Amino acid sequence: MSFMHTLRTRWQQADSLVCVGLDPEPSKFPARFAADDDAVFHFCRDIVDATAEYVCCFKPQIAHFAALGAESALTRLIAHVHARHPGIPVILDSKRGDIGSTARHYADEAFVRHAADAVTVNPYLGRDSVQPFLDHADKGVVVLCRTSNPGAGDLQDLMVDGRPLYQHVAETVARDWNGHGNCALVVGATWPGQLRDVRAIVGDAVPFLVPGVGAQGGDAAAVVKNARNAEGTGLIVSSSRAVLYASKGDDYAEAAARAARDLRDTLNAHRG
Ligand SMILES: O=c1ccn([C@@H]2O[C@H](COP(=O)(O)O)[C@@H](O)[C@H]2O)c(=O)[nH]1
């Protein structure tokens, strides 16, 4: 089943727009992991198992694994999601972007090595740099559009032909790059006005990955009000630290589950 089909099915079956981000930082793990040689995998696995019923997706961020030399834990974690929680797609957040001959290897990294269902990509090298990802018609290609960070506007808001650059990215992806219907866009929760503008440009068919609620302070209610589609879906609202590190005690998994459930309920209260 394709990423888009799995995602749409999961939105309905789980009644959730929540994505739990998997950003392991061992210094924030509960003390019980201190002597565990495979702590990254075990901690993330526990979070996955505790929160699965409340999510539409999981989103591991590759730098958090690579910086620790823990790529094997990432591969095993994605395999664990697929084996124990079939029907929950995994978006590998790697924000890749390079010339086509190299991008092919990045696509293999995401879809072959790690067996992710979707990947985040940087569009600024242009169509040929994204093509190796787009060619995987059953996989999701999640293109950075208006990111959640404070400096997002430095380049993404530059005016080009009378409109900010991020709006050109949105239009180009929806009109030209989405031939297989496998594209989504990253738009930060910290920018409700831009969420509304991008939804108006791309219509209902293109999902948004929306990081920035929780630790970055984005307003979950405003995300839903501004960017849901006509079905009340179309959103993958991602939270990492606020879920992963909801408690540093032995109740870390229960606390993560509560945080994911509360985010689901907040989002659902505004879906209409
Ligand atoms: O615009 C973007 C794109 C990606 N991210 C990633 O999402 C998570 C956010 O973590 P929180 O702890 O929920 O703040 C992180 O992996 C980022 O690399 C983003 O924040 N903004």
139-168 pLDDT tens trace: 999 999 999 999 999 999 999 999 999 999
186 lines ligand 1 (CB under 6 A): yes
Q: Active-site positions?
A: 95
What is the 3-state composition of the chain as percent helix, strand, coil, each rounded to the nearest 5? 50, 20, 30
Instruction: Specify the pLDDT at position 29.
Output: 98
Q: Looking at the whole model, is its pTM more than 0.95?
A: yes
Q: Which residue has the least CA distance to atom 16 on ligand 1?
A: 61
pLDDT of residue 27: 98
| CA–CA dist 48, 42 (Å, integer) | 10
- pLDDT at residue 45, rounded to an integer: 99
For 91-174, where are the E strands, in sequence order?
91-96, 118-121, 140-146, 159-160, 163-164
Ligand 1 and 23: CB distance under 6 A = yes
For the beta sheet containing 91-96, the strands, ordered from the edge strand earlier in sequence to the opposite edge, are: 57-60, 18-22, 235-239, 208-211, 183-187, 140-146, 118-121, 91-96
- C-alpha 239/C-alpha 59 separation (Å) is 9
Mean pLDDT of 248-253: 97
| Cα dihedral 240, 55, 221, 223 sign | positive
* pLDDT one-digit tens code per residue, 191-223: 999 999 999 999 999 999 999 999 999 999 999
What are the angstrom distances between the C-alpha of 47 and each of 79, 91, 178? 15, 16, 33
**Is residue 272 pLDDT above 90, yes or no?**
no
Ligand 1 center to 102 CA (angstroms): 25
Instruction: Among 22, 23, 155, 239, name the best residue to mutate to test ligand 1's pocket (greatest count of ligand atoms within 8 A of Cβ).
Output: 23
| Residue closest by Cα to atom 21 of ligand 1 | 148
Alpha carbon distance 134, 183 (integer Å): 8
User: Which residue do the tokens 């600024």 mark?
Assistant: 124
Ligand 1 pocket, mutate which of 62, 240, 263 (most atoms under 8 A from CB): 240
What average pLDDT does the chain have? 98
Q: Is the CB of 218 under 6 A from ligand 1?
A: no
Nearest residue (CA) to ligand 1, atom 1: 147
Quickly count helices (H) and strands (E) in the chain: 12, 10
Q: Give yes or no for a contact between 266 and 243, defined as CB atoms under 8 angstroms apart.
A: no
Any residues with CB less than 8 A from the CB of 6 and at least 6 apart, and which?
Answer: 87, 89, 117
pLDDT at residue 263, rounded to an integer: 98
pLDDT at 14 exceeding the cut of 90: yes
Q: Which residue has the tokens 């939270």?
A: 239
Of the CATH numbers 3.20.20.70, 2.40.50.140, 2.40.240.10, 1.10.3720.10, which one belongs to the domain with range 3-269?
3.20.20.70
pLDDT in tens, 85-131: 999 999 999 999 999 999 999 999 999 999 999 999 999 999 999 99
Residue indicated by tokens 């989002």: 267
